[in-house]
Amino acid sequence: MEICKGVSSFAGVAIGKILYYHRGEYRVRQSMADSAKKEIEKFSAAREAVKSRLLFLYEHSPALSQERSYALERQMKLLEEGSFSRAVESLVMTEKVTAAYAVMTTRDGLTSSFRNLKDEVAREQLENVKQISNRLILELGGTRAQIDLGEEPVILISEELTPTELLEMDKEKLLAVVTHQGSIISHTSIMIRSMAMPALLDIEIREEWNGCQAVVDGYTGTLYVEPAPEILREYEMRRQADLKEKKELLKLRDRKDVTADGKEIGIFANINSLDDLSSVLFYGAAGIGLLRSEFQYLGRESYPRENELFRDYRRVADTMGEKPVVIRTVDLGADRQADYMDIPGEANPIMGNRGIRLCLDRKRMFRTQLCAIYRASAYGNLSIMYPMITSESELDEIEALTEEVKAGLREKKVPFREIRRGIMVETPAAALISDRLAKRVDFLSLGTNDLSQYTLAMDRQNPYLKSKYDDHHPAILKMIQMVVENGHRENCQVYICGELAADTELTETFLRMGVDALSVVPACVLPVRKAVLEAFAGRKVSDGKQTF
Ligand code: PEP
Ligand code: MG
């Protein structure tokens, strides 16, 4: 047995086999097609191939249950009937996407629209649609971007992992992630936390562990490779206890976020992809306080089209209904970029062309996203938020562009709503002029991950600064308090959506400051709700006022 100590980025216990991940094993998603006609031909051939395969199974599987034979019959019929194929073909023709991508999008659209079906027959039919879609995607070359993790769920170990690599993995197959590089507030760590799985950093990983049994203890930051039987037994018990504790927390799913002495606060969820939507609902978040839209741009070969973006936002709006959703316009650059973006190399990308700066440089890209968000606004309770703001002149430019976009929609008679607008306060500059910024928007949202790194002048990804990185530093807390006061003076709500929002040691402090909402990874919604419900027990909000 080997025991290694590292740093935990999410608590929990995982037990399973190790998969050592080498870079460069995955295929890149190809969504844009060279020729629509060729894609239609490929789709026809794939349909025939899947039909033959289903027929073979139907005729040569003697032990087939009645239910399964019936399902195969329905699936073959679906492949012959026109509506599913027509939907795919029309997507290929109108949007010039690959057939595999069109099948995937059609499947996801149907799944999302009919996910609440109660009728048993209709649910079965939806399941059939999913199954033939998956077979078709596979037949079409499996262009659904994924790093192959094999059949069984694994504990993934890797020297380091980028957000793009993580996006391309099937998260159902991940039990835990262990890396050597990285920091607990890197974008990769935040994404792993959204998946609610234990993760360790700072472990000197070794390739020969590939295939070994292991235990990840996300409470103490310990990795056991080939654990002794008694360790395995103990952790199996811990895992069961964890599940029990989570079950207890789940009882808080429908509770209002009000402290014992009546102070109210919104607890929202941060999401990094549409896959996180089910967790948002599962954990009972009051809304989505930060939709990081980067997932729409990473792990692909060209910029997403307006309709692709729109479809995702519409799905979020439909899923969340009247619950608020804050869509952050894309924060690309630094550690979030893809080859096709062709961002010139920078000596210091964290301080470089990222966030709103890049969007205002690439107005076509930005306009496309604004248009998609405004179009989707007609379908739910959406707000828009801009990242990395440092000045009022950036807001001037955004406003001018937004007016152009809205005028275009009006002209085309496309419905949209006048949605709430907010900015991320994640640079010291924005914090210091928050009195002026607050006059121009409906809400401010403190991005404490970036705000901390810029205030402390310490790269949040730098593993060597981990022990010196103090995100409870009085300078940071003082800034948060100042932004809340400035915001409230202008009737502007103030949220926190950085990782600090999930730090339950600070929940009472934030409540005292008067923060309007905390937005955290979905798995932290209930622990933070518990902290809110238990806050000020037997005391008043005003007791123990702090100065920083
Ligand atoms: C932040 O900086 O706190 C934030 C929420 O943005 P991101 O982590 O996506 O940079
Ligand atoms: Mg940020």
Neighbours of ion ligand 2 (CB under 5 A): 426, 447, 450
| Sheet containing 199-201, strands listed edge to edge, beginning at the edge strand earlier in sequence | 2-5, 222-225, 213-217, 13-20, 154-158, 174-179, 199-201, 7-10
CA neighbor of 457 nearest in space, from 332, 351, 333: 351
Is residue 393 exposed (0-12), middle (13-18) or buried (19+ Cβ within 10 Å)? exposed
Residue 220's closest CA among 5, 519, 447?
A: 5
* Residue 362: pLDDT over 70: yes
Q: How far is CA 420 from CA 140, 440, 484, in A?
A: 42, 11, 18
Residue labelled with tokens 């409230």: 488
Tokens of 54: 């289903």
Distance CA 249, CA 255 (A): 11
The neighbour count for residue 148, using CB atoms within 10 Å, is 14
Alpha carbons 449 and 329: distance in angstroms, whole number: 17
Q: What does the angle CA 468 – CA 470 – CA 475 come to, to the nearest 5 degrees? A: 125
Q: Tell me, what's the pLDDT at 163? A: 78
Buried b (16+ CB within 10 A) or exposed e, 495-508: bbbbbbbbbbebbb
pLDDT of residue 24: 47
Contacts of 89 (CB under 8 A, 6+ apart): 40, 43, 102
Would you say the CB of residue 498 lies under 6 angstroms from ligand 1?
A: yes
Contact indicator for 495, 451 with CB cutoff of 8 Å: no
**Residue with the nearest Cα to atom 3 of ligand 1?**
447
**pLDDT for res 543:** 65
Q: How confident is the model at residue 460 (pLDDT cuts 50, 70, 90)?
A: confident
- The residue to mutate among 183, 194, 270, 292, having the most atoms of ligand 1 within 8 angstroms of its beta carbon, is 292
The answer to whether residue 491 scores a pLDDT higher than 90 is yes
Is the beta carbon of 497 within 6 A of some atom in ligand 1? yes
Would you give the end-to-end CA distance of the chain in angstroms?
47
**What is the rounded average pLDDT for all residues in the chain?**
89
Dihedral sign for Cα 100, 146, 326, 391, please. Answer: negative
Residue owning tokens 């993760």: 199
Q: What is the pLDDT of residue 147?
A: 66
289 close to ligand 1 (CB < 6 Angstrom): no
Residue 116 is predicted with a pLDDT of 66
Tokens of 80: 């012959």
Determine the distance separating the centroid of ligand 2 and the alpha carbon of 426, expressed in angstroms.
6
* pLDDT one-digit tens code per residue, 75-133: 888 888 778 889 999 989 998 888 888 888 888 788 767 766 767 777 778 878 887 88
What proportion of the chain, given as a percentage, has pLDDT over 90? 58
Q: Which range, of 168-177, 366-375, 420-429, averages the lowest pLDDT? A: 168-177
Residues in CB range of 373: below 8 A, 6 or more apart: 309, 313, 327, 329, 382, 384, 419
Q: Cβ–Cβ contacts within 10 Å for residue 510, how many?
A: 27
Half-sphere exposure of 304 (CA within 13 A, CB side): 25
Closest C-alpha to 112, from 307, 304, 312, 286: 312
pLDDT exceeds 60 at position 355: yes
Cα(151) to ligand 2 centroid in Å equals 35
Check whether 428 has a pLDDT greater than 70: yes
User: pTM score > 0.75 for this model?
Assistant: no
CA of 450 to the centre of ligand 2 (A): 5
How many residues are listed for the chain in this entry?
548
In angstroms, rounded to a whole number, what is the distance separating the alpha carbons of residues 176 and 198? 5
pLDDT tens-digit map of 385-427: 999 999 999 999 999 999 999 999 999 999 999 999 999 999 9
* Identity of the amino acid at 99: A
3-state secondary structure 201-254: ECCCCCHHHCCCEEEEECCCCEEEECCCHHHHHHHHHHHHHHHHHHHHHHCCCC
